[in-house]
A and B are shown apart, each in its own frame.
Chain A
Amino acid sequence: MTTTERDPFILDRPTGRRLRARDAVICVFVAAVLLVLLEGRSIRSSGDKMEPGVERTVVRAVGAPAGWLADQLPLADAVHSATAWLSPDAKLTGGAGSFQTPPAGVDAAASRAGGAAPITEEAFDAAALGEQPTRLAKLGTLLVTGDSLAQPLDVELARRLAGNGVRTIRDAHLGTGISKTDLVDWGQLSALQVRQRRPDAVVMFLGANEGFPLPAPGGRQLQCCGPAWAAQYATRARRMMETYRRRGAARVYWLTLPLPRDAARQQIARAVNAAILVAAQPFRAQVRVLDMTNLFTPGGRYRAAMPISGRNTIVRRPDGIHLNDAGARMAADAVIARLRGDFDSLR
């Protein structure tokens, strides 16, 4: 007995003429060939962006020749120019401000001088020395950014600060990282964010997708997660901090990574956290490093739940990397406490 007899209203027999199976295969392969010619580069770059594994290997195996073919023909460029107006994003790889271009500011000055950069008073957090830190009057615009770690912290902060007249800009870029510039170049993105939004404060929570090789001077590739890799990572992070602090006009709240459950990822997280601390050194007057490692993983041990208001509560998502809503509330508590210390309007 077929269902057509029992449920005539629901089984919608397809309309249109019937073709051969060969036609279905031809149709799909024509689409596939055209996509290779027009989007071959996207296929190649998608493979490069993926996490290591079988899927990545297969996509890269297809993407390499597809990308090569697209490179040989002018079609891809023509199509991309014609459809660029549809894209909701600014171009965020390569170009001005990119990590690929030489940095400006403290590091560059030091390298030109051929010696250590002079230590300025900005390297000290006045509060840590028992002095009153320079407070800013009003928190008008708060930028909450980073990768997937920034969610749902961004929503939590936006909700809790909405009553204080704070305009919270939530700008998470999922799947991105400081050590991978093919999707988003954070050097360029941070400059763009500051230019467009001019935030009074920036909350940065980034590091779920790190561990990719970083280029070193001389064209070498530094593998994660030794001191050389951490130094390169810190250099990039420092450049972003320099951008976000807007020469002292803004405050930056950079969250360290709570240790993930996976041991291999823990190694990356430790290197990232060490790099963040070093990166912030010259700007302690404006850049606050908020310790999420000890808050969520005290003693360097992963835990999914922890006591909140006397009740054991799950604070991590099942993936063992991200914070869930309860965890985000805890992280938001820490951020807001530091914001209150820096902005008169939040007191």
Chain B
Amino acid sequence: MVFPTVQFAVFFPIVLALSWALMSRQQIWKPFILAASYVFYSAASPTFCLLLAGVTLGNQAAAKLVHRTEDERRRRLIVGIAVALDLATLGVFKYYGFFAEETNALLDKAGLGLPLPLAAIALPVGISFIVFQAISYTVDVHRRLLPPAKTIDVALYLSFFPHLVAGPIVRAREFLPQLQGPRNPRQVAVGAGVALIVIGLVKKVAIADFLAREIVDPVFGVPQAYAAPDVLLASYAYAVQIFCDFSGYTDIAIGLALLMGFVFPQNFDRPYRALSFREFWRRWHMTLSRFLRDFLYIPLGGNRHGKLKQARNLMITMVLGGLWHGAAWGFVLWGFVHGAALVIENLFRGRISPPAWLKWVLTFHVVVLAWIPFRAPDLNLAGSFLGRLVEPGPATLWTVPVVAVVVLVIGLQLLPARPMDVLRVRFERLHPAALGASMAAVIVLVAATVSSQGVPPFIYFQF
């Protein structure tokens, strides 16, 4: 089920009302929310629910076992097996096809006729997010940061519908404590929740989908048909589209959770105002960068063993972070560019100090450049896209709305946060009925901009 759909508009008010009605009776509330979350997930495919249940039970078994075991070597073995099984699940569904095709191509070149069997495997929605959260639970129990929770709590943690399919990647030790008792029905951040839902809807439907339709999809689909002006605008437009699409989803997810009394971590903080790549990753998909830092970069050694090893660790982390998005060389290249930028930045930190505007220009444009292989269907087309950046020709897709939206979204990130915050706080103070009416008004306006194709899925659903 996708948030901006009629199905969800029917589903959520019912679930919200029943959730608060049952909140004081946790023994009923938990199975109810669990069932609602599985219904939400089964809209994609009922069979995926079995996978979700399997990941839940497998990690819960590992967490309980690791908690009971005293011997450190055995504890490591158990957690190693659990994480390997989680990653294997991810690998089969997400990377098997890519791996089999690339291996077969290599075998073919070597003249070896031992091809791996091919299969068209459906990618379960949100599998990457589910697996990462499962790993976070098991590893945190292993690190003794968290005792094993009740099975129903773990099931709820992994399946809670606001964050189920595209994050934010909520850590077990952020979510599970919130399940220890009923949420306080007198402390609900209604205004903040509605504000986030409204902002998220506008970002996704009115901005991201508009840019995709008007410029990004045509130009990235057939870059050969366009010259430099259109290709240049399309690359900025994609940077805006992916930000609005993904942060829009996150805003809605966090807003829905707030209405239900839960707090999720922040995932975006005006990333395009970053003056360095280090800062960019503290502002972009913050829950992923935090996960990669805690579960990959630091275990690899982090910055503890000199510049060279730190550079190696950064490259491994970022390339694997790229690969997390999907099985394609474009994602690997995207991760490589970010890794290389972080390494270069590290090398020159403290040695040169360019002015802030130059830092912004460099950071922003390398980020935009790295989005090109990320978005392009393959590396050939990414190359073709880049080649067209120097091809003179007319600007056929420059319209006032497209340029205005691109400039506005990037410009708003550069402005100080305070004026926007003041507006948001004023909105949050409205009477609940006025908040509801505002939400309805925005939904009606946003729905009017939807094409007959309907609302396209969020970009991060495919990851």
Residues of A bordering B, CB below 8 Å: 1-3, 6-7, 9-32, 34-35, 38-39, 42-43, 46-47, 50, 55, 58-59, 62-63, 79, 83-84, 86-89, 92, 152, 155, 158-159, 162-163, 167-168, 170, 172-176, 183-184, 304-305, 310-314, 316-320, 324-325
Contact at B189–A38, with CB atoms within 8 Å? no
Residues of A within 8 A of B189 (CB): 14-16, 18-19
Residues of B within 8 A of A17 (CB): 191, 428-429
Partner of B440, one of A10, A26, A35, A314: A35
Contact at B177–A21, with CB atoms within 8 Å? no
Contact at A159–B445, with CB atoms within 8 Å? no
Contact at B120–A305, with CB atoms within 8 Å? yes
Residues of B within 8 A of A170 (CB): 218, 221
Contact at A19–B120, with CB atoms within 8 Å? no
Query: How many residues in B have their beta carbons less than 8 Å from beta carbons of A?
Result: 85
Known: A3-B173, A20-B188, A27-B436. 16 other contacts (CB 8 A): A11-B174, A14-B263, A15-B192, A16-B192, A16-B424, A19-B432, A23-B432, A24-B16, A25-B13, A25-B20, A34-B440, A39-B444, A155-B222, A170-B221, A173-B452, A174-B454
A59 vs B5: C-alpha distance when bound (angstroms): 11
Residues of B bordering A, CB below 8 Å: 1, 5-7, 9-10, 12-13, 16-17, 20, 23, 43, 97, 101, 104-105, 108, 115, 118-123, 145, 171, 173-174, 177, 183, 185-195, 210, 213, 218, 221-222, 224-225, 258-261, 263, 265-266, 282, 286-287, 290, 377, 381, 421, 424-425, 428-429, 432-433, 435-437, 439-441, 443-445, 447-449, 451-454
Partner of A24, one of B119, B188, B452: B188
9 A-B Cβ contacts within 8 A? A12-B266, A18-B189, A24-B259, A27-B439, A46-B6, A58-B10, A305-B118, A305-B120, A314-B120
10 smallest beta-carbon distances between A and B, as pairs: A30-B436, A16-B428, A318-B122, A34-B440, A14-B189, A83-B448, A21-B185, A12-B266, A14-B192, A23-B432
Say yes or no: A35-B444 contact (C-beta < 8 A), given A14-B263, A183-B452, A184-B452. yes
Nearest to A147 among chain B residues (CB) is B453
Contact at A20–B186, with CB atoms within 8 Å? yes
A22 vs B118: C-alpha distance when bound (angstroms): 53
Interchain nearest-CB distance for A44 vs B (Å): 9
Nearest to B194 among chain A residues (CB) is A27
Say yes or no: A23-B118 contact (C-beta < 8 A), given A16-B428, A89-B452, A184-B452. no
Nearest to B218 among chain A residues (CB) is A170
Contact at A16–B435, with CB atoms within 8 Å? no
Contact at A162–B222, with CB atoms within 8 Å? yes
Residues of B within 8 A of A83 (CB): 444-445, 448
Contact at B444–A38, with CB atoms within 8 Å? yes
Residues of A within 8 A of B23 (CB): 21
Residues of B within 8 A of A9 (CB): 282, 286
Residues of B within 8 A of A167 (CB): 225
Contact at A12–B265, with CB atoms within 8 Å? yes
Contact at B192–A313, with CB atoms within 8 Å? no
Residues of B within 8 A of A158 (CB): 221-222, 225
Interchain nearest-CB distance for A65 vs B (Å): 12
Residues of A within 8 A of B1 (CB): 55
Residues of B within 8 A of A7 (CB): 265, 290
A47 vs B452: C-alpha distance when bound (angstroms): 15
Say yes or no: A32-B13 contact (C-beta < 8 A), given A3-B174, A14-B192, A16-B425. yes
Q: Main secondary structure on chain B at its contact with chain A?
A: helix
Interchain nearest-CB distance for A178 vs B (Å): 15
Partner of B433, one of A30, A47, A168: A30
A175 vs B451: C-alpha distance when bound (angstroms): 12
Residues of B within 8 A of A175 (CB): 453-454
Residues of A within 8 A of B443 (CB): 31, 35, 39
Contact at A3–B171, with CB atoms within 8 Å? yes
Contact at A86–B448, with CB atoms within 8 Å? yes
Interchain nearest-CB distance for A6 vs B (Å): 8
Interchain nearest-CB distance for B176 vs A (Å): 10
Say yes or no: A312-B224 contact (C-beta < 8 A), given A3-B171, A11-B263, A24-B16. no
Contact at B105–A319, with CB atoms within 8 Å? no
Contact at B186–A18, with CB atoms within 8 Å? yes
Contact at B6–A43, with CB atoms within 8 Å? yes
A83 vs B224: C-alpha distance when bound (angstroms): 36
A175 vs B450: C-alpha distance when bound (angstroms): 14
Nearest to A18 among chain B residues (CB) is B187
Say yes or no: A318-B433 contact (C-beta < 8 A), given A15-B424, A312-B115. no
Nearest to B424 among chain A residues (CB) is A15
Contact at A311–B425, with CB atoms within 8 Å? no
Nearest to A20 among chain B residues (CB) is B186
Residues of B within 8 A of A314 (CB): 97, 101, 118-120
Interchain nearest-CB distance for A48 vs B (Å): 11
A174 vs B213: C-alpha distance when bound (angstroms): 14
Interchain nearest-CB distance for B63 vs A (Å): 17
Contact at B186–A1, with CB atoms within 8 Å? no
- For A21, A58, A305, A310, the residue with the greatest tally of chain B CB atoms inside 10 Å of its CB is A21
Contact at A311–B108, with CB atoms within 8 Å? yes
A305 vs B104: C-alpha distance when bound (angstroms): 14
Contact at A10–B120, with CB atoms within 8 Å? no
Nearest to B39 among chain A residues (CB) is A54
Contact at A28–B173, with CB atoms within 8 Å? no
Say yes or no: A59-B448 contact (C-beta < 8 A), given A25-B17, A26-B432. no
Contact at B452–A168, with CB atoms within 8 Å? no
Partner of B266, one of A10, A46, A176: A10
Say yes or no: A163-B440 contact (C-beta < 8 A), given A15-B192, A15-B424, A28-B16. no
A61 vs B177: C-alpha distance when bound (angstroms): 38
Residues of A within 8 A of B185 (CB): 20-22
Contact at B120–A159, with CB atoms within 8 Å? no
- For B1, B188, B190, B287, the residue with the greatest tally of chain A CB atoms inside 10 Å of its CB is B190
Contact at A92–B452, with CB atoms within 8 Å? yes
Nearest to A92 among chain B residues (CB) is B452
Interchain nearest-CB distance for B101 vs A (Å): 8
A2 vs B140: C-alpha distance when bound (angstroms): 13
Say yes or no: A31-B436 contact (C-beta < 8 A), given A2-B177, A23-B188, A318-B121. yes
A34 vs B447: C-alpha distance when bound (angstroms): 14
Interchain nearest-CB distance for B223 vs A (Å): 9
Nearest to A35 among chain B residues (CB) is B440
Residues of B within 8 A of A155 (CB): 221-222, 377
A88 vs B402: C-alpha distance when bound (angstroms): 13
Nearest to A316 among chain B residues (CB) is B120
Contact at B188–A19, with CB atoms within 8 Å? yes
Nearest to B444 among chain A residues (CB) is A38
Residues of A within 8 A of B440 (CB): 30-32, 34-35, 38
Interchain nearest-CB distance for A26 vs B (Å): 5
A13 vs B264: C-alpha distance when bound (angstroms): 9
Contact at B120–A325, with CB atoms within 8 Å? no
Interchain nearest-CB distance for A163 vs B (Å): 7
Contact at B432–A27, with CB atoms within 8 Å? yes
